[in-house]
């Protein structure tokens, strides 16, 4: 309903709980209904492990066939994904005093962005009473306040740091 790509992916239908009398009685009508739509369901009892080997084998074959069909398009060597690990590592080690300030004059909003600050914002538990004071202290210590004043921020301006908004940062 939400993703046409997912709807196009192959799938397997498994009818579980065959160890229960109710499920056993309904299996034949369920099977016929799906087969009339071109779907071959698997009948299993996970708790008793009946039919699970066949189901796993069918899933493996389905995936193997997908890989064969789209080998050039969809499967890449994991080495190509090292940039993601590097980006995460960079964010984890980014200094808190490296940031950029921008100003939106139409809304008189200041934006302070930096990986170290973003990490600090995300790690702050805002439910504690002293969190705001601690946050202000860190902004002072890493030079954010001084840089904002230098750039022209005034009392009452809106300052956005990560996901935190403040209308009176000083």
Q: What is the pLDDT of residues 33-69, one digit of tens each?
A: 999 988 889 999 888 889 999 999 999 998 888 888 7
Residue 77 has pLDDT above 60, yes or no: no
Instruction: Report d(CA 105, CA 4) in Å as an integer.
Output: 41
**Whole-number average pLDDT of the chain:** 82
Identify the pLDDT of residue 152: 92
DSSP-derived letter for residue 49 is T
Predicted local distance difference test score (pLDDT) of residue 76: 52
The CB density around residue 99, as the number of other CB atoms within 10 Å, is: 21
Question: Considering only CA atoms, which of 122, 139, 134 is closest in space to residue 148?
Answer: 139
In the chain, residues under CATH classification 3.40.50.300 are 10-77
Q: Looking at residue 78, what DSSP letter applies?
A: G
Q: Is the pLDDT of residue 27 over 70?
A: yes
pLDDT of residue 85: 66
The domain made up of 10-77 has a fold known as Rossmann fold (3.40.50)
DSSP H helical ranges for the chain: 4-7, 21-36, 52-69, 71-74, 82-93, 115-123, 131-141, 144-151
Fold designation for 93-166: GMP Synthetase; Chain A, domain 3 (3.30.300)
Q: Would you state the pLDDT for residue 115?
A: 84
What number is the average pLDDT over the span 88-101?
81
What pLDDT score was predicted for residue 123?
80
> What would the pLDDT profile of 117-146 be if each residue is shown by its tens digit?
888 888 888 788 888 888 889 899 999 999
Where along the chain do the CATH 3.30.300.350 domains lie?
93-166
């Amino acid at each position: 309903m939400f993703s046409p790509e997912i709807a196009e992916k192959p799938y397997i239908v498994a009818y579980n709980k065959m160890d229960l009398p109710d499920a056993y009685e309904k299996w034949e009508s369920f099977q016929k209904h799906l087969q009339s739509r071109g779907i071959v369901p698997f009948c299993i009892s996970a708790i008793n492990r009946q039919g699970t080997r066949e189901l796993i084998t069918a899933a493996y074959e389905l995936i193997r066939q997908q890989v064969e069909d789209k080998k050039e398009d969809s499967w890449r060597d994991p080495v190509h994904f090292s940039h993601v690990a590097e980006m995460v590592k960079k964010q984890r080690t980014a200094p808190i005093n490296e940031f950029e300030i921008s100003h939106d004059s139409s809304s008189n909003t200041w934006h302070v962005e930096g990986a170290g600050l973003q990490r600090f914002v995300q790690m702050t538990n805002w439910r504690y009473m002293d969190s705001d004071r601690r946050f202000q202290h860190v902004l002072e210590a890493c030079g954010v306040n001084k840089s904002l004043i230098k750039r022209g921020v005034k009392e009452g301006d809106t300052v956005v740091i990560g996901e935190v908004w403040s209308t009176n940062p000083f």
